[in-house]
Amino acid sequence: MTQRWRLVGNRELYDIQADPIQSQNIASAHPEIVQRLNQVYDRWWESLSTVVQEEVHLVLGNEAENPSRLTCHDWHTNNDPVPWNHGHIRRGLSSNGFWAVEFEETGNYELTLRRWPYHENRAIKADQAQLRIGKREYRKWVNPEDEEVTFHIEVTAGRTRLQTWLLRLDGSLCGAYYVKVNYLD
């Protein structure tokens, strides 16, 4: 995409200045622009190929964003489904993954696990919650009518993995879709 051109799917070209709603595909009239934009895209994609498999660690405990909010959209999985849309969240897709994180500060943290987004005041519908940071695990019983469950733990600074589980009332396991991480001191 440039200030003037938008290439879609390697074959559709739109002049977004003249046609901002992209109603007319003009690729056949401008094959040289389609070719040039495809070449630029291919070079960009190739430049990413060396880092695309690296884990990006989300920084937690930094005063610029404290508390931090994690969502299931950033889970790493072994090709398991990730709840990435509202339908998945509403249905309660039974899935899990981990967050690659970096705790910036050693100290006390408050981690709050939720099944539903923060703007929805809905019950967690689980009776047990589990949290793993690196090799350390924590468990808590949950009142199924509560909206969230909070852990207070001491964490050592550094890179690690963070994963959560909710044992639902029907016996299934699922990750907490939303986690708020607050560095206390």
41 and 104, same domain (yes or no): no
Angle at 83 between CA 79 and CA 86, to 5 degrees: 155
pLDDT reported for residue 11: 92
83 and 103, same domain (yes or no): yes
Q: How far is CA 1 from CA 5, 26, 32, 37, 72, in A?
A: 6, 14, 14, 7, 29
23 and 82, same domain (yes or no): no
Model-wide pTM > 0.85: no
pLDDT reported for residue 53: 75
23 and 65, same domain (yes or no): no
pLDDT digits (tens, 9 = 90+) for 72-105: 999 999 888 898 888 999 999 999 999 999 999 9
64 and 44, same domain (yes or no): no
> How many Å apart are CA 153 and CA 134, to the nearest integer?
13
Domain that holds residue 43: 5-48
121 and 179, same domain (yes or no): yes
74 and 11, same domain (yes or no): no
Per-residue confidence band for 12, with pLDDT thresholds at 50, 70 and 90: very high
pLDDT digits (tens, 9 = 90+) for 17-70: 999 999 999 999 999 999 999 999 999 888 887 777 778 899 999 999 999 999
68 and 93, same domain (yes or no): yes
> How many Å apart are CA 28 and CA 39, to the nearest integer?
17
How many domains does the structure of the chain reveal?
2
> How many Å apart are CA 15 and CA 5, to the nearest integer?
5
pLDDT reported for residue 164: 98
In-domain check, residue 53: no
* Average of per-residue pLDDT across 103-124: 96
